[in-house]
Amino acid sequence: MTEDSKEKREEARKAVGLLIRVKYTEVDQFVDHFATNISAGGIFIQSRKTYPVGTTLRFEIRLKSGEAVLRGKGQVVWLREAVPASDKPVVPGMGVRFQQLDDDSKKIVKRMLKVRRQGTAAERSKVKGSDGGLDLGMDMDIQAPVEDRGPSIEVSPELHAEQVDPSALDAGIEVTEDPSVTKARKAKEKADSVGKIIGIDLGTTNSCCAVVRNDRPQIIPSRKGYRTIPSIVAYDDKGKFKVGHAAKGQLAIRPEYTVYGSKRLIGRPFHSNTVRQIKDRFHYHIVEGPKKECAVEIAERVFSLQQVASFILAEIRAVAEEFLGAEVTRAVVTVPAYYNENQRQAVRQAGVLAGLRVERIVNEPTAAALAFGHNKSLDQRALIYDLGGGTFDASVMELTENVYEVRATGGDTFLGGVDFDNQLTDYLLAEFCTKVGVVPKVDRPAMQRLLEAAEQAKCALSEKNETIVRLPFFVAIDNTPKDLEVRVTRELLEELVQAMVERTMAVSLQVVKEAGLSPKQIDNVLLVGGQSRMPLVWSKIEEVFGRKPNASVHPDEAVAIGAALLADSLKRIDSVVLIDVLPMSIGIGVPGGAFLVVSEKGTSLPATRTYTISTFRKDQTLIDLLIFQGEHDRILDNEYLGTLRISGIPPGPKGSTLVELTFHLDQECMLVISAVDRTRNESLDATLAQLDTDETIRKKLRIPLEEAPSHEVGYPAPSPPSDENPVKKKRLGLLQRLFGRGSKKKKK
């Protein structure tokens, strides 16, 4: 155990006393309004200051008059981060499991539970946003408050609960659960945990894990009690690897040893267009691996992206084992809908390296839809709008009872919250430069501070109309430290990111069109991804689709919860039916560089296509076919998947052997290609591997070196080509011009 985790555990063992004052004057009023924070098992305490999971709390809740209404002891079992949100704020605080309650408190809790069953005062008055979706508490014994209730605790905004000496709250507390009952409950939980398949959302920015226990999906909190963990792996100055929050902490100081956003690189050939386009955006060193795949170099050692992902998965697995008290060896893992065969395969391999058998790979939008549809009898068409930290995905799905069918899918692999942060960072810098009258030198730590401040301001502006970004001693000009202080309004932020939100709408409309529908035929727009909390996103969706979006499952948790639900359903015969489509066309490169489509985008999966070729040289014993994926006519604009090498062809005159190729795409979009010598009716060896480089691809397909890709690789863009695209144009902002972000990093 590290010193850090020892300290955390020590800290968690100490009891903390909390005195909570509420604004209500009457007990009845308290019971009616505060019931949202109570369940049979515990209480949700709103507070910006939280204590680590495991901390014992002695708490007392007092009315305005000072009368104590709830008094007891409990243990912190989960934390909710203080994430500002739009119409539906995420209330920060702690889920506390009751350990002891005095008799009067027990009676009050009983009354509150009755109120909950009948609907609380807030629910009865039908406040905004309660659209019949899942309530936030679906995954816990101790339920978080549903989002649409106003703050019920009248305390300072900084700290809802005041810390007091725990012994001051000791009086009159008695044990509620007899030790034999506790033992039996724990034994049952343990028995239920054995052989569990966990659901993992392996995200670009954050990852999240969930499991179904007692028929309820539950989020498994991280070691530090957070419900998601940053998808970051860091190599520290002591030569140890760290994962999650601990790794994020060193991002600013050791960026070249801190691997983030690796989900964009996993399973891609080093020579692919995408890697070429994005590799200079990262501070860590991206290299070519032994199989020509993309890999990373940390402290002079080369790691595959599968290894990097396995560190994250191993951490998740360890946390899940601790949470469940049982060994975990199986998982359902989610991937973006646009992931190709190599990327899916790489995620499976990462699972194996982490000691996990990946039972199913499921697409993120499908998982999100599963979470939204849980315990509901659905018959609707939904648009899953997923705007995360790095990418935007949109999928139209038809949800009918237990059948979840993807009708069309699309997105932008280079559009996410980080682009919003960059726009605001650009603006803040420009304002600063104008104020100080020079363009100062900004070193890396200062730049990191500014980026973090911009992200925080962006999130704060989802909740309030204006905020001030303050960075004391931001930079030194002529040896004099200068502070940065810029006021930003929501209106201004919306202006800065307008083009990006518009682009998500254009992509969504395109996907709706590809599904053969009009916006009016979409019954529900389901929100996924942190950036979807922005009020502008909400209002645009309402404007375009004529209905409010649905965020009834927490946007950060929906995908993991869906994966856990799928995992749980695998053991049942009546499990859910998932029908998917091929997100991007798959085809072959032909001489001259044209792209010959074999399986078209939107083809329902599983799918099988056959294609026949003949030997084109005398005594040809080997054929190399270059496989690509994308929607452009030229292979240079599409993504190289690999080279299919067909060997064992008997020598003979040109055209003497006919080879029949079968492309089989399974339900999970895994591609298997087999080859048969049709002349002799014998099967041939066919292996798909990343054998070629940009140079050899051009040589084999006779493409002149001068010919360059004309599009960014990824989903076909419904908006203008890259240099006319307002989003891309804006990205080349002041920041980039001043600091050359995007220019090649030097190898350490």
Residues annotated catalytic, as ranges: 201, 263, 364, 386
Q: In angstroms, what is the minimal distance from the CB of 50 to ligand AMP? A: 17
Q: Does 83 bind ligand AMP (CB under 6 A)?
A: yes
Q: How far is CA 100 from the centre of its chain?
A: 37
Compose the 85-104 pattern: x for residues touching ligand AMP by CB under 6 A, - for all others: x-------------------
Q: In angstroms, what is the minimal distance from the CB of 147 to ligand AMP? A: 12
Q: Does 527 bind ligand AMP (CB under 6 A)?
A: no
Among 58, 360, 490, 533, binds ligand AMP (CB under 6 A): 533
Other Cβ atoms less than 10 A from the Cβ of 195: the count is 13
- Closer by beta carbon to ligand AMP, 108 or else 561: 561
For 39-62, the DSSP string reads -SSEEEEE-SS---TT-EEEEEEE
End-to-end distance of the chain based on CA atoms, in angstroms?
Answer: 31
CA distance 428 to 469: 8
Angle at 669 between CA 668 and CA 670, to 5 degrees: 95
Q: Does 389 bind ligand AMP (CB under 6 A)?
A: yes
Residue showing tokens 């052989």: 195
3-state secondary structure 310-325: HHHHHHHHHHHHHHHC
Per-residue tokens: 537: 């996103």
| Cα Rg of the chain (Å, integer) | 28
Among 36, 143, 206, 467, binds ligand AMP (CB under 6 A): 206
Among 84, 92, 249, 652, binds ligand AMP (CB under 6 A): 84
Q: Does 405 bind ligand AMP (CB under 6 A)?
A: no
Number of residues that bind ligand AMP (CB under 6 A): 21
Q: In angstroms, what is the minimal distance from the CB of 203 to ligand AMP? A: 5
Q: In angstroms, what is the minimal distance from the CB of 560 to ligand AMP? A: 11
Q: 448: buried, middle or exposed (CB in 10 Å: 19+, 13-18, 0-12)?
A: middle
Q: Name which of residues 478 to 497 contact ligand AMP (CB under 6 A).
A: none
Q: How far is CA 465 from the centre of its chain?
A: 27
Among 455, 568, 637, 668, binds ligand AMP (CB under 6 A): 455
Residue 531 DSSP SS3:
helix
Q: In angstroms, what is the minimal distance from the CB of 453 to ligand AMP? A: 12
Order across the sheet with 682-689: list the strands.
Answer: 594-599, 586-590, 622-629, 639-647, 682-689, 671-677, 658-665, 607-614
- Closer by beta carbon to ligand AMP, 83 or else 626: 83
Residue 69 DSSP SS3:
strand
Q: Name which of residues 543 to 572 contact ligand AMP (CB under 6 A).
A: 556
From 83-91, 345-353, 579-587, 607-615, span contacting ligand AMP (CB under 6 A): 83-91
Q: In angstroms, what is the minimal distance from the CB of 532 to ligand AMP? A: 8
Q: In angstroms, what is the minimal distance from the CB of 250 to ligand AMP? A: 19
Cα separation values, 599 from 596, 631, 684, 697, Å: 9, 11, 22, 21
Among 199, 261, 269, 530, binds ligand AMP (CB under 6 A): 530
Compose the 461-480 pattern: x for residues touching ligand AMP by CB under 6 A, - for all others: -x------------------
Enter the DSSP assignment of 519.
G
Q: Does 417 bind ligand AMP (CB under 6 A)?
A: yes
Residue 29 phi/psi, 5-degree rounding, is -60, -40
Among 134, 209, 534, 541, binds ligand AMP (CB under 6 A): 534
Q: Which residues bind ligand AMP (CB under 6 A)?
A: 83-85, 203-206, 388-389, 417-418, 455, 458-459, 462, 529-531, 533-534, 556
